[in-house]
Amino acid sequence: MAAICAGVLALQGSVEPHLRALSRCGVDPIELRRPDQLDQITHLVLPGGESTTLHHLLQLHSLSSQIPQRVATGQLALLGTCAGAILMGRECQESPPRWNLIDVEFQRNGFGRQVHSFIEPIEWIAGPDLGTSEGIFIRAPRIGVSSPAVEVLATLGSEAVAVRQDRCVACTFHPELTGDDRVHQWFLRL
């Protein structure tokens, strides 16, 4: 197996907390800002932030087509949190355009606006063996209709809040803000 080289898309959003989490997992993460950096990365985190802004910045920095291409060829594992998860979902009627990497519709701000942010325990039913952990939801998207190819990893009540398809993982919450690095540790093994 090739050596792991992790990166965090460092254009906007919750970059620093992801960098710290990956560092605590024993890797020296790259702050990805340019297309030439992408070739060396095996695992990439798409942080939370604002999905439309993130989409525009990805286009501006010529990364919006390269990332999905690397995923399609099996060269790159992705972890998307909040806004990053939205970009990974399937195309729908809502902006911004999506990459169709996970066969799920993500509804932006599905749990409400900024003032409706909350912290609740979530239950891990697959993937990382976490049992119950803290879920921090900030302007969080909701996971809508998905295909059988999508594995539900974690739930809030009966609602899916983390899913996986192949080497793509999407969380509607912010695991990087909890201080519990087990999601990142598990992701680095994909």
- Report d(CA 84, CA 32) in Å as an integer: 14
| Catalytic residue list | 82, 174, 176
> What are the structural domains, with CATH classification, of the chain?
6-187 (3.40.50.880)
Its pTM stands at 0.95
**Of residues 91 and 188, more confidently modeled:** 188
Q: How does strand 168-171 pair with strand 104-107?
A: unpaired
Q: State the average pLDDT over residues 111-117.
A: 87
Question: How do strand 43-46 and strand 77-81 relate by DSSP bridges?
Answer: parallel
Q: Which residue's entry shows tokens 């087990």? A: 182
Q: Which two three-digit tokens encode residue 79? A: 């972890």
Helix, strand, coil distribution of the chain in percent, nearest 5: 25, 30, 45
Give the pLDDT of residue 2: 65
pLDDT at 112: 85
Two structure tokens written together for 17: 């907390």
Question: Is pLDDT at 1 greater than 80 in this prediction?
Answer: no
- Mean pLDDT, residues 22-43: 97
> What are the residues whose beta carbons fall under 8 Å from the beta carbon of 185, sequence distance 6 or more?
25, 128
